[in-house]
Amino acid sequence: MAGFEQELMIEVGALAVGAAQPYVLRQYADTKFGAVIPQLGVYGTPSAIGGLVGGVVAAAAIVGMMTGKGLRDPMHQKVALAYGVPALVGSLIMASLTQTVSAASPQAVFRPQTGGVPAAMSPAARNYASLSQAQRLQQSVL
């Protein structure tokens, strides 16, 4: 058995790893691989999948606490919860803030979409998109 201070440090370490995991995976793995499972959209990136795995770890700890099956050691249950909950919540929040992800092009990492006119628009649509709101109102048909 570990002492109280040692158990506390292990739990704090698991909490830090669980909280840092989504950010680290987002910065490195998501930019390199993009959507690993394209059918899941933003939830198919490595950071989101890692967070879902953290949620499974937290669920295993909760099942162990409630039923006594799976993780039975209270220390392991606390560490699993300390890791799994922040990993799951952080990944879900990051994935929900992501606009779109494609398998061919890795996603931008926390870069807001900039305004501008897409190149695939027709010349008339580009012209209209470049107008100010007042100019658009003057051209509107009532």
Q: Left if phi > 0, otherwise alpha if psi is -120 to 50, otherwise beta: which for 67?
A: alpha
Domain ranges of the chain: 4-107
pTM value surpassing 0.85: no
Tallying the residues shown for the chain, one arrives at 142
Residue range 59-108, pLDDT digits in tens: 999 999 999 888 889 999 999 999 999 999 999 888 888 765 454 445 44
Spatial neighbors of 62 by CB under 8 A, at least 6 apart, are: 81
Q: Give the pLDDT of residue 110.
A: 47
Residue range 115-127, pLDDT digits in tens: 555 556 777 777 7
3-state secondary structure of 104: coil
